[in-house]
């Protein structure tokens, strides 16, 4: 469009809270932790939970909760950015990095360029492996030192904080390595395939 | 083997467009509907939303998502806005915006929380407060098209005065025996109130909602605790996960640890 209309009398009420260096464009900082999910919250018990790693239709490895808990654990403090415009600063998570997951199955490098995360409740999201290795992505099981509440993705969710938070799929159960990229749930419904908040890649074509 | 050229046409960006406020309707003491003229609007499906963007004189911008409350059949686009006290966009839209004002908007967004008369199965809608907006778009679409799909709206409000679109919904239900309206007032009820007077619970849904055997399509929109509860109750009553679509908003009410 040619020019942006000025909303007479509109002023910022939240700018003071919003640090320019830490808040991507179009986001505001909240102290709350909103819940956005497309359906009911799955209530998966840890004794029923497993995480599977799949490559080319074959199962590389499946961990039980206890086995997963025995993997090397990493704690991270990071900012998160939801496509619905809220950002939350300094959130603390604990879990297993993708680097340690790959190491646990004896892989020195990612076996494929892409991964689809499949989650309880039918959710899925696709990611380039390059965005998960070198400490960039984790499967987390603790939020602020406590088990993650089901509404926030417990018992285990993805954490890929440098992308919009829908990429950090809740209730993750299966990671499928892919040679070719495929769309996940929101990615096939008009949302951006990559989702970089600093480039404001909210929707397809952004 | 056929090789399909990936991204032969790059996706078109969802562009910001100019919207002009044509009318403002006061719905409740804290809720207004803005009726917008959007010249370049390409149409939408009931349940979809838009992003709006306000720009201050110093260049500061704020964005917010609002469900579309109007059906695709209407000429003006209706957004129903509830005042959020510590919000940034809603106080401006409620207190400052006048007919003739312009702001930016882009959409429609979201392809999951949608219903049209082409969808099979009864329609089960559950709303809390201003969560009625996208569900109203579905009911209005159904009414405009004179569709007779069995439909139910379970609507939770604090008081009678807080029921958004009350007269319109009542008129719609009076004219249509296939539409059932169930109101519950959780905080204060007028004298002689015969409806429910408690939060939506499992017993209420067991009583009024279509049973799973009828394969209803379920849409729940409202404050997070209401949506969490109602969707869990429906799962417990035997409704399959994929038939329950949800939109949550507002404070999480203690869900965050």
CB contact under 8 A, A10 and B10: no
Interface size A-B, in CB pairs within 8 Å, comes to: 134
State the DSSP H helix or E strand holding residue B152, giving kind and residue range, or none if neither: strand B151-157
What is the structure's pLDDT at A11? 83
Helices and strands per DSSP (H, E), number in chain B? 5, 11
pLDDT at residue number A9 = 83
Would you state the pLDDT for residue B8? 43
Domain ranges of chain B: 17-109, 123-249
How high is the pLDDT of residue B256? 42
DSSP for B56-118 reads -TTS-EEEEEEEB-S-TT-SSEEEEEE--TT-SHHHHHHHT--TT-EEEEEEEE-SSS---TT
pLDDT of residue B7: 43
Residues of A in contact with B51 (CB under 8 A): 202
* A6, A15, A122: residue with CB nearest B57: A6
CA distance B243 to B218: 6
The domains found in chain A, sorted by start residue, are: 62-199 (3.90.420.10)
Q: Which residues of B touch A152 (CB under 8 A)?
A: 255-256
Distance to chain B for A58, nearest Cα, Å: 24
The pLDDT score that the predictor gives to residue A8 is: 83
Residues B74 and B71: their CA atoms lie apart, in Å, by 6
| Cβ within 8 Å, pair B248-A37 | yes
Q: What share of chain B is helix, strand, coil (3-state, %, to 5)?
A: 25, 30, 45
pLDDT of B257 reads 33
* A31's tokens: 């102290």
**Distance from C-alpha of B179 to C-alpha of B153, rounded to nearest angstrom:** 8
Any B CB within 8 A of A41 CB: yes
Bridge partners of A65, per DSSP, are none
Nearest-by-Cβ selection for B109 from A34, A37, A203: A203
The two domains B17-109 and B123-249 share their CATH topology (first three levels equal): no
pLDDT for the residue B231: 98
CB contact under 8 A, B55 and A7: yes
Check residue A161 and give its pLDDT. 98
B117 CA to centre of own chain: 17
User: What whole-number distance in Å separates Cα of residue B204 and Cα of residue B183?
Assistant: 11
Lowest mean pLDDT among A1-15, A77-91, A140-154, B86-100: A1-15
Report pTM: 0.94
Domain range B17-109, CATH class: mainly beta
B11 contacts on A by Cβ (under 8 Å): 204-205
Which run of H or of E encompasses B137?
helix B132-144
Most A CBs within 10 Å, among B37, B219, B248, to test the A interface: B248
Tens of pLDDT along chain B (257 residues)?
Answer: 334 344 445 567 899 999 999 999 999 999 999 999 999 999 999 999 999 999 999 888 999 999 999 999 999 999 999 999 888 899 999 999 999 999 999 999 999 999 999 999 999 999 999 999 999 999 999 999 999 999 999 999 999 999 999 999 999 999 999 999 999 999 999 999 999 999 999 999 999 999 999 999 999 999 999 999 999 999 999 999 999 999 998 876 555 43
Q: Which of the residues A11, A26, A35 would you substitute to probe the B interface, choosing the one with the greatest number of B C-beta atoms within 10 Å?
A: A35
Residues 44-83 of A with CB under 8 A from B: none
* CA distance linking residue A25 with residue B55, whole number of Å: 13
A206 at B interface, C-beta within 8 A: yes
Neighbouring residues of B163: CB distance < 8 A, sequence distance ≥ 6: B28, B155, B157, B169, B183
**Chain A closest-CA separation from residue B48 CA (Å):** 11
Amino acid B95: pLDDT:
93
User: Do residues A129 and A171 lie in contact, with contact meaning Cβ atoms separated by under 8 Å?
Assistant: no
Give residue A17's pLDDT: 60
User: Is A5's CB within 8 Å of B241's CB?
Assistant: no
Give pLDDT tens digits for A15-68: 656 666 789 999 999 888 999 999 999 999 999 999 999 998 899 999 999 999
* Of the partner residues A9, A15, A189, the one whose CB lies closest to the CB of residue B60: A15
Q: Does domain B123-249 have CATH number 3.30.565.10?
A: no
Tell me how crowded residue B53 is: count the other CB atoms within 10 A of its CB.
Answer: 18
Q: Are B148 and B176 in contact (CB under 8 A)?
A: yes
What residues of B are in contact with residue A42 (Cβ under 8 Å)? 241
Collapsed DSSP state (helix, strand, coil) of residue A154 = coil
- Using a CB cutoff of 8 Å and minimum separation of 24, what contacts does A156-159 make? A156/A49, A156/A51, A156/A68, A156/A95, A158/A117, A158/A125, A159/A76, A159/A78, A159/A93, A159/A95
Q: Shortest CA distance to A108 belongs to which of A75, A134, A146?
A: A134
Strand (E) or helix (H) holding A28 = strand A28-29
Nearest CA in chain A to B234: A40
């Amino acid at each position: 469009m040619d020019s942006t209309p000025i909303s007479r009398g509109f002023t910022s009420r939240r700018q003071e809270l919003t640090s320019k260096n830490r808040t991507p464009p179009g986001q505001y900082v909240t102290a709350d932790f909103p819940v956005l999910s497309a359906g009911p919250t799955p209530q998966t018990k840890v004794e029923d939970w497993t995480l599977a790693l799949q490559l080319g239709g074959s199962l590389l490895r499946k961990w039980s909760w206890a086995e997963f808990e025995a993997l090397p654990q990493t704690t991270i403090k990071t900012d998160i950015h939801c496509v619905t415009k809220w950002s939350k600063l300094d959130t603390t998570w604990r879990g297993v990095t993708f680097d340690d997951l790959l190491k646990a199955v004896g892989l020195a490098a990612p076996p494929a360029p892409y991964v689809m995360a499949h989650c309880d409740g039918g959710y899925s999201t696709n990611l380039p492996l390059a965005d998960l290795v070198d400490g960039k992505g984790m499967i987390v099981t603790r939020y602020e030192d406590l088990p993650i509440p089901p509404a926030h993705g417990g018992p285990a969710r993805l954490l890929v904080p440098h992308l919009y938070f829908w990429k950090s799929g809740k209730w993750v159960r299966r990671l499928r390595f892919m040679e070719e990229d495929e769309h996940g749930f929101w990615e096939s419904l008009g949302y951006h395939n990559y989702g970089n908040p600093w480039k404001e890649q909210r929707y397809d074509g952004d | 083997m056929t090789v399909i050229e990936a991204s032969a046409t790059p996706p078109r960006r969802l562009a910001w467009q100019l919207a002009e406020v044509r009318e403002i309707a006061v719905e409740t003491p804290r809720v207004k509907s803005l009726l917008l003229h959007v010249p370049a609007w390409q149409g939408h499906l009931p349940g979809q939303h838009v992003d709006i963007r306000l720009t201050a004189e110093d260049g500061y911008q704020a964005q917010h998502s609002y469900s579309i409350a109007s059906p695709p059949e209407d000429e003006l686009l209706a957004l129903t806005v509830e005042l959020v006290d510590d919000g940034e966009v809603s106080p401006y839209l409620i207190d400052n915006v006048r007919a003739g004002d312009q702001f930016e908007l882009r959409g429609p967004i979201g392809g999951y929380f949608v219903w049209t008369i082409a969808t099979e199965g009864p329609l089960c809608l559950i709303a809390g407060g201003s969560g009625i907006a996208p569900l109203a778009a579905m009911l209005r679409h159904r009414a405009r098209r004179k569709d007779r799909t069995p439909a139910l709206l379970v609507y939770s409000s604090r008081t009678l005065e807080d029921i958004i679109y009350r007269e319109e919904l009542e008129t719609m239900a009076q004219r249509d025996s296939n539409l059932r309206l169930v109101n519950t007032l959780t905080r204060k009820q007028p004298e002689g109130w015969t409806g429910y007077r408690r939060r939506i619970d499992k017993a209420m849904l067991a009583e009024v909602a279509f049973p799973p055997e009828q394969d209803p399509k379920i849409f729940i929109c409202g404050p997070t605790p209401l949506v969490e509860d109602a969707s869990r109750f429906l799962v417990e009553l035997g409704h399959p996960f994929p038939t329950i679509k949800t939109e949550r908003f507002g404070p999480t009410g203690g869900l965050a640890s």
